[in-house]
Homo-oligomer: A and B are copies of this chain.
Amino acid sequence: MFLVSLIPIRPEGSSGPPSERSDAARNRERLLQAARELVAERGVDAVTMDMLACRAEVGKGTVFRRFGNRAGLMMTLLSDAEAEFQQRFIFGPPPLGPGAPPVERLMAFGEARIRYIDKYGELARAAEHSPHNRHAAPPALLWHRHLEMLLREAGVDDPWLMASFLLSTLDPERVLYALRSQGVEAARIEAGWREFAGRLLGCPPGAK
């Protein structure tokens, strides 16, 4: 046991950023585990930051230092799923990944995103419920850049703006309203999005 501690676990050389202190790491693990438990037990919307601090046996300040705010916490809980989603649309197989024509990639992107929202529901909504900089969060910027690129490839004017429009369409709050409050099935929303994207990029409306 003590031998292990003699071997540098993360030998990142001398220039690396000062690695995380052990107590900080321990608290982060505690917090993440407590957060997952609480979410599983009581649902995302019922979890408060005080509750989390208490369950993790940690001060409230520690929670906020770690995650910034409530949305940051939820984002962290989603980070694995989010990373996987990003991998898929950047490096994965077509039609979501590179190789397919822009229209199809666009359709696949919306479809994947709608499934993501359907799957992670409240969590996805809470992760984007940041008071100020929702749209400036790294994932949102990445999605935006991706759509912008696809639209530029497709020869659309003002791809930046069009990407914004399309992204607003995939806002978790809106999608969840349709799914949960209005009882619309996910398949219908996905089909609608495909038609939306198809029409936008000038595909014959009837074409599959």
Q: Could you tell me which A residues sit within 8 Å of B by CB distance?
A: 134-136, 157-158, 161-162, 164-165, 168-169, 171, 173-174, 177-178, 181, 184, 188-189, 191-193, 195-196, 199-202, 205
How far in angstroms is the closest Cβ of chain B from A59? 28
- Using A168-B171, A189-B161 as known contacts, say yes or no to A202 and B200 having CB atoms under 8 A apart: no
**A162 & B200 in contact (Cβ 8 Å cutoff):** no
Contacts of A161 in B (CB 8 A): 178, 184, 188-189, 192
Contacts of A191 in B (CB 8 A): 158
A-B pairs, top 5 by smallest CB distance, nearest first, are: A161-B192, A168-B174, A165-B169, A168-B168, A135-B177
Cα distance A158–B205 when bound, in Å? 13
What are 8 contact pairs spanning A and B, CB under 8 A?
A135-B181, A158-B191, A161-B189, A161-B192, A165-B169, A165-B192, A169-B169, A199-B199
| A-B contacts besides A171-B171, A199-B201, A202-B205, 15 pairs, CB < 8 Å | A135-B181, A157-B195, A157-B205, A158-B191, A158-B195, A161-B184, A161-B188, A161-B189, A165-B192, A165-B193, A168-B168, A171-B174, A199-B200, A199-B202, A200-B200
**A164 & B174 in contact (Cβ 8 Å cutoff):** yes
Cα distance A200–B196 when bound, in Å? 7
